[in-house]
Amino acid sequence: MLPPIPEGPISPPPGRPSWGSQQDLALFYLGWGRRDFARDPLGVHVDRGTNYYVVLQGQVLVTAAGATQAVRGPTALIFPPGCAFGIAQAASERTEILVWIWRGQPQSPQLLPPPGGFLALDLGRQPLDSLLELHARCRNEVSRADTHLPRTLGALRELLEVEILRLSRTTAATGDVRWKLANSWMLNNLAIHAPVPALCDYLCMSPSTLHRFFRTHAAIAPGAYFRRLKTQEALRLIRQEGWLVKAAAYHLGYHHPNDLSRTLAAARSRTEPAQEL
């Protein structure tokens, strides 16, 4: 006769960061950081809540519904209440995870796994800053433990599910929309002297995320892309609209007309011989 499957969260090995609560809260467990599932596997068990595992880095072996599946991060794993699952690794490697265990079923219908099973959602190559921030906010909220905690936890769970859906279902079209927004903003703000911080604020991106975003869409840094647009607009104004270099320079925010002249000269040296200005 097979031994019964244990119920409830299984605590990580000593020294691994985690938080747990016996209170009647919507959230009753958080885990984060590095985890070696080869040395310290998570045995097959059943939780009373929904487990949201985000494998940030590394590959794990998930056992559920009588089968074992290899999962490589970044991936979100959703284990609903009553799903017997375990996590291991074939060999020791650098694995980083975020874990939330929330009471009850997932609130978003799109995150409801099939009966007896679980979901594995590929989070693609986009940065996971939003999930890291949400986990940190959850840890901060439970440390406060004031009368507002139930309400804030409810809002954070909704945000978590939305971010998982966004990251797992981000399409080229969605990226194209944000890229069009970035281009439109730059074209309308060519005279600004510090475009990168302002664009970060406009797109709600960190500088590192903005840099990766531009590397993906334009293969250059955002500052270099902005200077390219600025140069193209200066050439259009001078060649097609008949503006003087001095007028175009001041219109585009250059401190001195000579700054624009040097920019145009450098652009000409990198391309085919240009028309006389």
Please indicate, yes or no, if residue 136 is contained in any of the structural domains: yes
Is the same domain home to 197 and 81? no
> For the domain that residue 187 is a member of, what is the CATH number?
1.10.10.60
> For the domain that residue 127 is a member of, what is the CATH number?
2.60.120.280
Q: Scan for tokens 């925010």, then name that residue.
A: 253
Is the same domain home to 83 and 183? no
Please indicate, yes or no, if residue 165 is contained in any of the structural domains: yes
Is the same domain home to 143 and 45? yes
Q: Which one of 141, 169, 197 terminates a domain?
A: 169
Please indicate, yes or no, if residue 140 is contained in any of the structural domains: yes
Is the same domain home to 179 and 139? no
Please indicate, yes or no, if residue 26 is contained in any of the structural domains: yes
Interatomic CA distance for residues 149 and 143, integer angstroms:
10
Q: DSSP letter string over 155-209?
A: HHHHHHHHHHHHHHH--HHHHHHHHHHHHHHHHT-TT-S-HHHHHHHHHT--HHH
What's the domain range around 180? 173-270
Please indicate, yes or no, if residue 106 is contained in any of the structural domains: yes
Sign of CA dihedral 56, 144, 205, 110: positive
Model confidence, pTM: 0.62
Is the same domain home to 159 and 25? yes
Over its length of 277 residues, how does the chain's per-residue pLDDT go in tens digits? 334 555 555 555 565 667 876 678 899 899 999 999 999 999 999 988 999 999 999 999 999 988 999 999 999 999 999 899 999 998 888 899 999 999 999 999 989 988 888 999 999 877 899 999 999 999 999 988 889 999 999 999 999 999 999 888 644 445 677 888 899 999 999 999 999 999 999 888 889 989 999 998 999 999 999 999 999 999 999 999 999 999 999 999 998 989 889 888 888 876 654 444 4
Q: Which one of 113, 145, 169 terminates a domain?
A: 169
Is the same domain home to 197 and 240? yes
How many structural domains compose the chain? 2
Is the same domain home to 108 and 182? no
Q: Which two tokens stand for residue 51?
A: 């487990």
Interatomic CA distance for residues 58 and 88, integer angstroms:
12
Is the same domain home to 25 and 162? yes
Question: What crossing angle do the helices spanning 207-218 and 195-203 adopt, rounded to 10°?
Answer: 90
Is the same domain home to 81 and 130? yes
Identify the bridge partners of residue 43 per DSSP, sorted by sequence position: none
Edge-to-edge, what's the strand order for the sheet holding 18-20?
A: 18-20, 27-34, 96-103, 49-57, 75-79, 119-122
